[in-house]
């Protein structure tokens, strides 16, 4: 999402400096404190990254707007005499909410990535800007593989075990891309690993963009049984841009992203997911893949997201900024 935003802003004629690990690629200038990314996130390293980025911005005095994507940067908002935007990329976190209240709306503009996420922020005001992706990176697929796809972290909240069960009950092969992070090791061992040994299951490991496009474009459907308040879910967009319907539980942002019968289907159980998957694979439920892609491009194309952020920046630059607090 950040890469697409940077690319889109540059195409509109803006100058963008990206503060990110040194291995990052961007059409703009990349300034890095750490040479490589670290995953899972390390809170202290994230704080160092945020601090060094803010100090560099203040030293250079050539920036109109600061757009933060990690909560650590929010703590520095009172020190920055510039409009600052923070996009919330995660589920509600009480600690982050306390930080947002402490900083105050006069010094920071918060952006939620779905209306459901905005609702869950409660008393905290936030603009809503849905994510968007560049359609040209996700060509239309034909679903010729007649299998189900799963793409994402092998975590309880992502529902990978339910996806495996739904495919098994539908008697449809499934291909999965992703892995378990250390924090999810027990869940993986207890509920996922044995199911990966079932007939018809193919585990691809982690894949890049080309691998994702092949996986999603060849699938009859992408299974998205998220068991939490999903803030957005870019996997759904990636699938829908490939013309592949998403079969998903209706938690979090999912009802905002998936249009019933047009870009996917909402279900409420493993059995319902299996039934819908079987209908798609056998042709009992015809699906227009070209319409799925065109509707997704119109609603969630990168240009729409970039334009929304650019307009927000413009409005903020035109307003007076509260004086920064002295360190």
3-state secondary structure of 62: coil
pLDDT of residue 323: 58
Is position 106 within any domain?
Answer: yes
120 in the same domain as 47: yes
Residues 97, 157, single domain; the answer is: no
Q: What is the DSSP letter of 98?
A: H
User: Looking at the structure, do residues 285 and 159 belong to the same domain, yes or no?
Assistant: yes
% the chain with pLDDT above 70: 98
Residue 320 reports pLDDT greater than 80: no
pLDDT digits (tens, 9 = 90+) for 222-233: 999 999 999 999
Query: Is 22 domain-assigned?
Result: yes
Terminal-to-terminal C-alpha distance of the chain:
33
**DSSP code per residue over 256-298:** HH--BTTTEEEESSHHHHHHHHHHHHHTSS---HHHHHHHHHH
Q: How confident is the model at residue 128 (pLDDT cuts 50, 70, 90)?
A: very high
User: Is pLDDT at 294 greater than 60 in this prediction?
Assistant: yes
10 Å Cβ neighbour count for 44?
A: 8
pLDDT at 105 over 90: no
Is residue 322 over pLDDT 80? no
Q: Please check whether residue 327 lies inside any domain of the structure.
A: no
> How many structural domains compose the chain?
2
Q: Which two tokens stand for residue 157?
A: 């909240």
Say yes or no: 144 and 242 in one domain: yes
Over residues 70-85, the mean pLDDT reads: 94
Same-domain pairing of 170 and 112: no
In a shared domain, residues 163 and 214: yes
Q: Which residue has the tokens 């299996």?
A: 274
Q: Is residue 323 part of a domain?
A: no
Specify whether 81 is located in the same domain as 159. Answer: no
* pLDDT of residue 325 exceeding 80: no
Tell me which residue range forms the domain holding 12: 2-132+302-317
Higher per-residue confidence, 325 vs 273: 273
Classify residue 234 as left (phi > 0), alpha (psi -120 to 50) or beta: alpha
Domain shared by 73 and 47, yes or no: yes
Same domain, 20 and 51: yes
What residues pair up with 68 in beta bridges, in sequence order? 86
Q: Is residue 322 part of a domain?
A: no
Spatial contact of 235 and 153, defined as CB atoms under 8 Å apart: no
Does 275 reside within a domain? yes
pLDDT for position 225? 98
List, for residues 48-70, the tens digit of each pLDDT value: 999 999 999 999 888 999 999 99
Between 14 and 106, name the one with better pLDDT: 14
For residues 176 and 115, membership in a common domain is answered with no
pTM of the predicted model, to two decimals? 0.93
Can you give the pLDDT at residue 61? Answer: 84
**Are residues 218 and 149 part of one domain?**
yes
What is the reported pLDDT for 28?
Answer: 82
| Whole-number Å distance between alpha carbons of 137 and 152 | 18
Check residue 324 and give its pLDDT: 61
CATH code at position 158: 3.40.50.2000
Q: What is the pLDDT of residues 155-212, one digit of tens each?
A: 999 999 999 999 999 999 999 999 999 999 999 999 999 999 999 999 999 999 999 9
If asked whether residues 91 and 144 sit together in one domain, one would say no
Question: CA 164, CA 50: separation in Å to the nearest integer?
Answer: 39
């Amino acid at each position: 999402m950040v890469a697409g935003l940077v690319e889109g802003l540059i195409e509109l004629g803006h100058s963008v400096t990206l503060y990110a690990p040194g291995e990052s690629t961007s059409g703009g200038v990349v300034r890095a404190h750490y040479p490589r990314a670290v995953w899972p996130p390390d809170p202290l390293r994230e704080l160092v990254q945020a601090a060094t980025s803010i100090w560099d911005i203040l030293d250079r005095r050539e920036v109109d707007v600061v757009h933060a994507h990690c909560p650590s940067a929010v703590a520095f908002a009172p020190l920055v005499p510039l409009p600052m935007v923070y996009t919330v990329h995660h589920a509600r976190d009480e600690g982050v909410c306390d930080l947002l209240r402490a900083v105050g709306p006069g010094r920071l503009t918060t952006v939620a990535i779905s209306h459901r996420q905005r609702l869950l922020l409660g008393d905290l005001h936030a603009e809503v800007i849905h994510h968007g992706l560049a359609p040209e990176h996700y060509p239309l697929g034909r679903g010729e593989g007649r299998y189900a796809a799963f793409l994402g972290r092998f975590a309880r909240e992502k529902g990978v075990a339910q996806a495996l069960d739904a495919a098994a009950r539908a008697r449809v092969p499934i291909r999965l891309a992703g892995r378990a992070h250390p924090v999810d090791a027990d869940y993986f061992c207890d509920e996922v690993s044995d199911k990966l040994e079932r007939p018809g299951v193919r585990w691809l490991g982690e894949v890049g963009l080309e691998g994702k496009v092949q996986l999603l474009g060849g699938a009859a459907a992408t299974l998205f049984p998220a068991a939490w308040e999903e803030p957005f879910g870019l996997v759904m967009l990636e699938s829908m841009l490939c013309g592949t319907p998403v079969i998903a539980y209706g938690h979090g942002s999912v009802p905002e992203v998936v249009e019933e019968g047009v870009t996917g289907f909402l279900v409420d159980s493993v059995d319902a997911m299996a039934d819908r998957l079987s209908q798609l694979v056998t042709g009992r439920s015809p699906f227009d893949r070209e319409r799925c892609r065109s509707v997704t491009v119109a609603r969630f194309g990168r240009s729409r997201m970039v334009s929304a952020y650019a307009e927000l920046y413009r409005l903020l630059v035109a307003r007076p900024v509260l004086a920064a607090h002295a360190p």
